[in-house]
Each structure stands twice: as structure tokens, then as C-alpha cells.
Structure 1
Amino acid sequence: MSDLLFVRDHIQPPLPAPHRTSGVVLWLRTNLFSSVPSTIVTILAVLFLYWIIPPLYGFLIGDAVFSDPEGLRGEACRFEGVGACWVMIQGRWNTIIYGFFPNSELWRINLMFVIAIVLLVPMLVPKAPFGRTAALLFFLVFPVVAFILMSGGILGLRQVPTAQWGGLTLTLIISVIGITVSMPLGIFLALGRQSKLPIIKGFCVGFIEVWRAVPLITVLFMASVMFPLFTPQGVTPDTLLRAIIGIVLFESAYMAEVVRGGLQAIPRGQFEASSALGLSKVKTMVFVVLPQALKHVIPGIVNTFIALFKDTSLVTIIGLFELLNTVRSAARDVNWSSPTSDITGYVFAGFMFWIFCFGMSRYSIYMEGRLHTGHKR
């Protein structure tokens, strides 16, 4: 037994310190300089940034015109070497945000925005109180209040035709209506496409395929020119209403295909388990299948919403002054025109679109992380 025993008779030399598992140097070595190709790409990227950032900084900030103390308007941006004409954005701010809405009535739009934000916060923040109440008010009461505030003509409010609506306000109105209406319509179309009734399935398939096969710009032209032909004689639908109807029908077809993908991802066992519990087909679809299907396709749904928000810029072809068209008209105003006004306007419009699209994207990522139930890959 003694041969199996071992007693150390000298001190073991100390082991080297462990390698660092964090830090800037390790991160750079792992992500940017892990191999020769990675190092080459990193160097090229740094050279590209070194080439493009100084001119962008000079145009947007360094040589830009931010103030006009002498009241020169566009003249302040007509000197040689001048960068972005931000004074044009400041001078035409009301037009860019509110369109041609009367200045004395702008409080109505601001009030509408405040009400929308107050109702949206409880809806979008999961732990906020009164979420269901806010949702009911937003979808049932707020549209009526917003229409009264925008149109007027009652309760002593001055009537403002839709031709005077414009700017960022019009872009948000079209986007919110399009998102709110196309979502449930797309769900019904997706369910109808999976129906076993030939008439319902055929109608949904035909609707989806026809609208997905036509460009949105063509849809807007048709809504502007052809839609009045289907209305009673003497009735002329509003141009904004035609555009909204066209966008809703167009986007609902794409939404239907996104939802259909989620429905097909649900295993058959979910239906069988619901049937074993005695649930009807309607309850199975509403309480079991649809929640899971919509959760699976959150990225696709948000992607459709983002595409819809950007597609609102196409309504300019039928004479509506949404954000992009309003910025373009502001930049070409004789009093504010300059060599850099157009570029400044496009940069500003692009930045505004980016803010809203990036916000929707980040919120979708947050909802994905919150709703995943252990199957996240």
C-alpha cells in the first residue's frame, strides 16, 4: 500500500498568469486583427473613413451655416465654400413639419401629437399601467379626435382641407393609418388563404398575388385616376383618401404573406393539443396559433412597417406634400435657394426617416427579446 502513496517534497513552481479575457487590446485583436484578411479589411475601412469623414464634417458642421443674424436668408448660403444651409431648415421649419397648415391653427396638430404620445407610451411599455385602456382609446377614440383636430369645421374649429396638410405630419398620418389598418387586414387575408373554402381561398390568393405583382407607384396612379370612376356620379374622393386606400391595400398583401409564413411555422401538434382540450377552431386560432405565429414573424412585420413608412414618400407623385416633397419645395423657395439647399434638405429628410425607421427596428429587437420563450437561436 505504501507504494501507492505520494508526498511532494518540493514546492511546485508558480503557474503563469491567465490570459486576459477582456479589454480593448483583446477586442481589437479578436474582432479586427484576428487574421491577415481581417487585418487588410480593417486597414482599408480605416482609410475609407479617413477619406470620407473630413469632407462630411466640413460640409455638415465645419463650413455649414447655422445662423442668420443679418436676415440674409438664402444669401447667407450663396458664398463660395459654404457647406450645409441649416438656416434654410430653421427658416422653413413650420412648413417642413406641418405643411401648409395655417399658423394660427398649429396648436391643433401639436395637441394631436401630445394625445398620441400619451396613449402610445402605455401601449409600447409592457409594465406601464392602463395599457388596455390606452389601446382602446388609441384605436377607437383617437382617430375621431385626430380627424376633428386636423379637418375642423365643427366645435368652432376652422376648416382646413387636406390640400393644406403636409410635411412630417402628413407622413406620420399616412404611416399610422397604413400600419393600423393593413395589419388586421393582412391577418384576415393570411387566414383566408389557408381556408378550405374554395371561394374564400381563391379570393384571398387572387387579391394577394395581384397587389404584390403591381408596383406601389402604379397603385398610387391608379388610385388617383381610376378610383373616382368607381364612385357615384358627383362624388369626388379626396386625394389623400385615395392614396391611403391604395397604400393600405398594397401593404396588406405583403403583410398577409408575412403572417402566412408564421402560421406555417406552427407545428401540427398545437392544433391537435387544442382540439384535445376541447377548443373550437376559432378559439384555437385566436388564443393558440396566432399569438405564436405573430411572435415568430416580428422581424418580418416590422420590416413591412418600415417599408410602408419609407414608401409614403411616393405620394408626392399625386401632388401630396409629404416630408420629402415639402423639404424639396422649401429648398427651392426663391428666398432660401442656394447651391447647397437641395443637398441640405435631402440630408435632413433622410435623417428624419432614419430616426423613425431605426426606432421601429430597435423596438422590434426589444420585443423579440422579451417575448422569446426559450427557443431563441
Structure 2
Amino acid sequence: MARGAASGEREGFLYLRQAPAPPRPPPAPRASLPERLRENLFHGWRASLLTLACLALAAALAPPLLRFLVFDAVWSAPDGEACRAPGAGACWAFIWRKLPYFIYGAYPVGERWRVDATMLVGAALAFWLLRLSAPRRGLAALLFFGAYPILAFVLLHGAPALGLPRVPTELWGGVFVSLLVAVVGMVVSLPLGVLLALGRRSRLPLLSLFCAGFIEIVRGVPMITVLFMANTMLPLFVPENLAPDRLLRPLIGVALFASAYMAEVVRGGLAAIPRGQYEAAAALGLSAAQAQRFVVLPQALRAVIPGVVNTFISLFKDTTLVAVVGVFDFLRTIDAARLDPVWAGPTIAATGYAFAALFYFTFCFAMSRYSRALEGRLSHGRRR
């Protein structure tokens, strides 16, 4: 027995290095810019052909766009006379003159500071919450999801007891309404989507059937149908004096519609978690709820970050559909402003829609870049 153990020990030494490992070559220096361009854009004849085709398309489209949007544009004018001149480009003077209406809609001029305060506080809390290295992010979440909605409602709707006159939602409009609809839809859809995904995977037949039915029905109809149903059907389920506000109805419809899509995104992440993770959680003595909270959901949500952000981006663009139920969102204010006879002209509509495209692109691109940064940060922490 002793001789066998000694033999095993001698054999084990065969796997130990007796001399220092040879030095490895230094890492290759980073390629120069021309080399990276050649590698990424002209690596092979197919890549070269596609690159040349894209460059030709850009060369054909860029000059007229630049002439219309920049070089021939009218940047300052008291009315639309200069914008109606032959050869005039985009009428940015129209955007500048109508910018307060685009932001606030018909909100009373003397009370617009309340909208500014609401948006500034919301932006500050969102920045605090979304910055992963920020301290006390739990407090930021508590303020954003708990105190901020109350503050926003008091400021925007008014409270006579506090000296804030009431402003009916019929006067709300513009950018801040579009942001309000998008933020409410995003904030509600993620937790509700998680609950629906968990309910659909539940072993309780009635709960699973209810969640699956809700998801399939909502996903099977267009969003405009959900908005019409929310606008016409919700008042029938409550007493007349408790009927939802005309702005609250599309908010509920948007949140429910986005939740159904979010549920399927989260369910895909849950289905991707290996069975071994559940077994490992059970081996550690975690209950089913603890396993979902500490083991399964964090991994599932990390895996579906691109899908979640894609749903948020789609929701942000779909907020323009609330105009069909009478809500004056940002795009609706542009449609109304371009009918002003003082600014009538052939380039007014194109300028307004170009400004709207720039607005939506800015927010969607920012969400996309934050998603990429978040993925990189989580992947880096996981590798460490």
C-alpha cells in the first residue's frame, strides 16, 4: 500500500513543471487606423463591394440633405415669408418660434415652471439610478418609484391647498406628455412583465392559463386597438365619478401592451437558464422564491438586456399612437403647428418631421448606447 502511494506521488510529480515556463511573446501592438479600416471595410472583395456601394449611396444622398437642412436653411425669421422664398431649405426659424408649444403644448405659460421642475427632478433621479457607480442607488430607486410620482402629480395636475392651481389634462401636450407616456410604460411594463412571465411558467394551471391568455390576446392585436379599448371600455367598469382621466386611460393601455411583450422577453431569459442553476439553489437550501430572486432572475434579466431595451425603444416610438385617442403628444403638436397660416410654406411640414425624427433618434440612440455600456459592465464584472 505504501509503495503504491509512493508510486502515485511520483507519477503526480510528472505533471509539475521542473523549469520555468518560457517567456511568451509580447502582445501584438494595436493596429493603426489605416490597417483597421482595411481590415473592417476592405477585407475581401465582398466587403470592398459593399463598402463602395454604401459610400456611393452616402455621396448621392448627403449633398441634397446638407443643402436642405444646413446650407439653404432659414435659421431666423419673424414669420414664414423667408421660408416661402424659392430655393429655401429647412425652416428652423419655425421650430424655434414654436418650440415652447412643442415642449408644453397648451399648458398655461405662467405655470410652465412646474413642467420644467418635474422634468429636471426626473432626469436627476434617473441619472442617479442608472449610473451603476453612483452611491446609494437604493435610495434613488425609492425616491424615483415612490416619492417622484407623487411629486410629479402634484406639480403637473396642481394642488390648490399648496397654492398650485389645477391644470386639466386637456391642456397637457408636447414633449413632456410623450416622455410621461414613455416613462410610465417603461416603469410599469418591466415588473409587470416579470410577474406575467413567472405566472405563465407557474405550475398552477389557472394562474398559468390567465397569464398566457392575457399575453396572447394583447400581443395578438395592434396597439391602436388596445388604446381604443382602454379609452372606451375602462370608464364602463367603474362608477362615473371615478372614471379614469382622459390621459390616464391611454397610460394604462400603453403599460398593459408593453407588459405583454416584456413578459415574452423575460420568459425567453428564464427558459435559457440551465436546470443546474435551480438544482444548485435548492442544494443551498434556498426556497423557490429565494431561488428566483437571487439566482434565476438576475441571470435571466442580464441575458435579455438587449431585448428589454429593444422593447423600450419600440415603446418610446409607439407613444405617437396616443394621438388617435385625443392626447396631444409631441408629434401631434407638430401636426397642429404646421397648419398656422403665418408659417405656411412648402418646407414647414418637412422641417417639423425632421425635427421630430431628430428628437426620437436622440432618445432611442441614448437608450441603445446605455444598453451596450450596461452589457459591457456586467460582462466585465462576470469575467472578474
Q: Does TM, normalized by the shorter one, top 0.5? A: yes
CA deviation after TM superposition for structure 1 residue 222, in Å = 1.4
CA deviation after TM superposition for structure 1 residue 81, in Å = 0.7
Q: Structure 1, residues 3-32: CA drift from partner, whole Å, max 9, x if none?
A: xxxxxxxxxxxxxxxx99723432343233
- In the other structure, the counterpart of 1:348 is 355
2:262 aligns with one of 255, 266, 269:
255
- In the other structure, the counterpart of 2:144 is 138
Of 24-33 and 270-279, more deviation after overlay is shown by 24-33
C-alpha distance 54-288 of structure 1, shift in aligned 2 (>3 A): same
C-alpha distance 55-192 of structure 1, shift in aligned 2 (>3 A): same
Residue 245 of structure 2 aligns to which amino acid in structure 1? D
Q: Which residues of 2 match residues 267-306 of structure 1 at below 5 A?
A: 267-306=274-313
2:250 matches 1:243? yes
CA deviation after TM superposition for structure 1 residue 134, in Å = 1.2
Q: Which residues of 2 match residues 326-365 of structure 1 at below 5 A?
A: 326-365=333-372
C-alpha distance 231-285 of structure 1, shift in aligned 2 (>3 A): same
Residue 31 of structure 2 aligns to which amino acid in structure 1? S
Residue 366 of structure 1 aligns to which amino acid in structure 2? A
2:93 matches 1:87? yes
2:209 matches 1:202? yes
- In the other structure, the counterpart of 1:52 is 61
2:131 matches 1:125? yes
Q: Structure 1, residues 271-294: CA drift from partner, whole Å, max 9, x if none?
A: 111111111111111111111111
1:27 aligns with one of 27, 36, 60:
36
2:50 matches 1:41? yes
Q: TM-score, normalised by structure 2?
A: 0.89
Q: Structure 1, residues 309-337: CA drift from partner, whole Å, max 9, x if none?
A: 11100011111110111112112212222
Query: d(CA) in 1 for partners of 2:251 and 2:262?
Result: 16
RMSD: 1.7
Query: d(CA) in 1 for partners of 2:370 and 2:195?
Result: 25
Q: Which residues of 2 match residues 161-172 of structure 1 at below 5 A?
A: 161-172=168-179
Residue 330 of structure 2 aligns to which amino acid in structure 1? L
Query: d(CA) in 2 for partners of 1:351 and 1:360?
Result: 14
2:81 matches 1:75? yes
CA deviation after TM superposition for structure 1 residue 108, in Å = 0.4
Query: d(CA) in 1 for partners of 2:241 and 2:149?
Result: 27
- In the other structure, the counterpart of 2:7 is none
C-alpha distance 43-274 of structure 1, shift in aligned 2 (>3 A): closer
Query: d(CA) in 2 for partners of 1:355 and 1:301?
Result: 18
Give the secondary structure class of the aligned counterpart of 2:341: coil
2:321 aligns with one of 314, 318, 323:
314
Query: d(CA) in 2 for partners of 1:321 and 1:183?
Result: 25
Q: Structure 1, residues 204-263: CA drift from partner, whole Å, max 9, x if none?
A: 011111000010011111112222222224544212111011111111011100111111
2:73 aligns with one of 61, 64, 74:
64
Query: d(CA) in 1 for partners of 2:374 and 2:54?
Result: 33
Q: Structure 1, residues 97-135: CA drift from partner, whole Å, max 9, x if none?
A: 111111111110111112112212221111112311111
Query: d(CA) in 2 for partners of 1:138 and 1:233?
Result: 32
2:228 aligns with one of 211, 217, 221:
221
| C-alpha contact (below 8 Å) 1:332/1:341 kept by paired residues | no
Give the secondary structure class of the aligned counterpart of 1:113: helix
Query: d(CA) in 2 for partners of 1:25 and 1:278?
Result: 57
Query: d(CA) in 1 for partners of 2:285 and 2:51?
Result: 60
Residue 109 of structure 1 aligns to which amino acid in structure 2? V
Q: Structure 1, residues 125-150: CA drift from partner, whole Å, max 9, x if none?
A: 11112311111011000000000100
| C-alpha contact (below 8 Å) 2:234/2:243 kept by paired residues | no
CA deviation after TM superposition for structure 1 residue 375, in Å = 7.3
C-alpha distance 142-21 of structure 1, shift in aligned 2 (>3 A): closer
Query: d(CA) in 1 for partners of 2:244 and 2:117?
Result: 27
Give the secondary structure class of the aligned counterpart of 2:342: coil
Runs of 4+ deviating beyond 4 Å? 373-376
- In the other structure, the counterpart of 2:109 is 103
Residue 90 of structure 2 aligns to which amino acid in structure 1? A
Q: TM-score, normalised by structure 1?
A: 0.90
2:272 aligns with one of 265, 268, 273:
265
CA deviation after TM superposition for structure 1 residue 297, in Å = 0.5
Residue 375 of structure 2 aligns to which amino acid in structure 1? E
| C-alpha contact (below 8 Å) 1:20/1:26 kept by paired residues | no
Query: d(CA) in 2 for partners of 1:34 and 1:139?
Result: 50
- How many residues align? The count is 355
C-alpha distance 21-182 of structure 1, shift in aligned 2 (>3 A): closer
C-alpha distance 122-196 of structure 1, shift in aligned 2 (>3 A): same
Q: Structure 1, residues 35-77: CA drift from partner, whole Å, max 9, x if none?
A: 3333333222222222111100000001100012xx2x11221
C-alpha distance 127-78 of structure 1, shift in aligned 2 (>3 A): same
